[in-house]
Amino acid sequence: MRIVKGLGAFALSLLMVSCGGDDSGGSSGAASISFSVSDAPVDSAQEVVIAFDQVELVVSDEESIFLDVDGGANDYVQVDLLDYQGTDSLLIVSSQVVPVGSYENLILHISDESGVSYVVDNNGQQNLKQPSNKLKLGEFEVGTESVQAFTIEFVLRMSLVMRGNQGNNNGYILKPHGVTIVDNSEAVSLSGTVDTNLFDEGDACSLDSSSMVYLYSGGGLDSGLLIDLVDPDDETFTGEPAIPDGSIAPVASVEVADNGTYQFGFLTAGDYMVAFACDGDGDDAIEYNPEIIIPMAPTANSTGDKFSEVTLVNGQQAVVDFSY
């Protein structure tokens, strides 16, 4: 760990604690924190390899705390996010002492070494070019507990995008949209199965399309307002077609495996609605796609719901199944 720019009282208190001033490994003014990474997969890529070299906690415009990653012989840790899906994660920063309190920003620094960050898709290996080699995730809070662990969860269907196209490829980038920081002590997982008879039910569905499960935050939602993944803040967003007033976009989505199972890992507690859609492969995650049917319209032959409400509780693993 290193502290740069202003060395005020906030930083000096950290130095005193980290030099052994408290045998418990923490105090009312400091905590030992760790960071891991995990992801919800993206169906368009076979590898998403990123080389992280630091985690920056921004105290103010004049002061930051830099945490080194556990890279072994390298000064970065290289990880294929697709190897850590669902509740699997990789530890990248372990047991580093920082002051308790609120931070203006948490920034993931990505190595600028050539060739260590890339995406492998159906057209081969593509560059992953992160602007300024930084991914800014926003405000971050370190609580008073002496030991804390967090997981940085990437929903790659939302955060990983290509700039340009295959004929004029400017490389992939990662956006903060779809990346969350979850306190491991409060993390909740959600999993379930989808009856495979639902995979080819109705005109919009076929076994060749990607069946998806979408997750919406909140209770008592009107299922008629649920839409696909959108990102109005993306620089390429056109708003065509227009998003209907009152629409509710998902906070995450995952593809259903061939055996009918799905899993969300590292969610925060609260009320959610879970919806099944059989045609999610047409969802580009930026523009509104009205052809994505969420939830799938009931048919005369189906007795099962295509959406369900669930309350996620700290320390519990929730299960939602979709029956036929």
Poorest-pLDDT segment among 58-62, 188-192, 253-257: 253-257
Residue tagged 């009312």 (tokens): 28
**Which pLDDT score is estimated for 10?**
28
Per the listing, tokens 């099944």 go with 276
44 or 158: whose pLDDT is higher? Answer: 158
Distance CA 306, CA 278 (A): 10
- Domain 189-319 belongs in CATH node 2.60.40: yes
Q: Which amino acid is at 255?
A: E
Amino acid at 29: G
pLDDT digit string (tens) for 120-138? Answer: 988 899 999 899 999 999 9
pLDDT tens digit string along 186-195? 999 999 998 8
Percent of the chain residues past pLDDT 70, beyond the cut: 81
- pLDDT at position 298: 46
Q: What is the per-residue pLDDT across 168-214, written as a single tens digit (0 to 9) for each?
A: 567 899 999 999 999 999 999 999 998 877 766 555 555 555 788 99
pLDDT in tens, 8-21: 222 222 232 323 33
- Say if residues 157 and 173 touch (Cβ distance below 8 Å): no
pLDDT score of 306? 73
Mean confidence (pLDDT) of the chain: 82
Q: Which residues are paired to 251 by β-bridges? A: none
What is residue 133's three-state secondary structure? helix
Region of 76 on the Ramachandran plot (φ > 0 left; ψ -120 to 50 alpha; else beta): beta
Distance CA 242, CA 287 (A): 9
Domain ranges of the chain: 2-185, 189-319
Predicted confidence at residue 74, as pLDDT, reads 83
> In whole angstroms, what is the distance from residue 34 CA to residue 39 CA?
17
**Are the CB atoms for 116 and 133 separated by under 8 Å?**
no
Residue 263 backbone dihedrals phi, psi, to 5 degrees: -155, 135
Residues 6+ apart with CB under 8 A from 223: 273, 275, 295, 307
pLDDT tens column, 22-56: 433 334 589 999 999 897 667 678 999 999 999 99
